[in-house]
Amino acid sequence: LNHRAFAGLNVVAQYDFIFDDPDPSWDPRTDPEGQANHGTACLSVITGWDPGFLVGIAPRVSVALAKTELTGSETEVEEDYWIAGLEWLERLGVDVVSSSLSYRDWYRRADFNGVTPAVSRAAERACGLGVVLCNSAGNGGPGAVTIGAPADAYSVLAVAAVDSSGRITDFSSRG
């Protein structure tokens, strides 16, 4: 958060659900190298403010930050971290949640029905409580039905990856 594109960013709350710690910043003692890269890049696209270099889609918005992914692995417990983070964000009264992750590894294709994965059920509940949830469709493309959870939930806005021309990338998951 010390990058100039985040100058003036209003962080109202933050929490690391992996290590049960109030500071989600990268910690060289516990986090793999590069742990903060993807989330920080996504945050910059949303909130970045450095005119002439980067202007995000919602600069100067107030944010709550929840760290739920451990990038060195992909395990089922990360779904629990994500659900805990989502519940915390909803209790804080957030309007929008942006999440760039996708769970597929321990599910079958038929499970992506919007209700089987625990994260999809939690996402649907949060949306029902008024949260707008934007989530990555996943990186399992280009085939059909490669979308992951929680983007398979009915009320979630599943977001594909696009190239600089606005075309969906080959790796982006499809519904």
- The string of pLDDT tens digits covering residues 20-57 is 999 999 888 888 888 888 999 999 999 999 999 999 99
Beta strand residue intervals within 2-131, DSSP E? 10-16, 49-50, 54-55, 62-67, 96-99
pTM metric for this prediction:
0.94
Q: Report yes or no: 9 and 1 within 8 Å, Cβ to Cβ.
A: yes
**Mean pLDDT of all residues in 127-150:** 95
* Residue 123 banded pLDDT, cuts 50, 70, 90: very high
Q: Which pLDDT belongs to residue 11?
A: 97
| C-alpha dihedral sign at 23, 26, 30, 32 | positive
Rounded CA separation 149/83 (Å)? 12
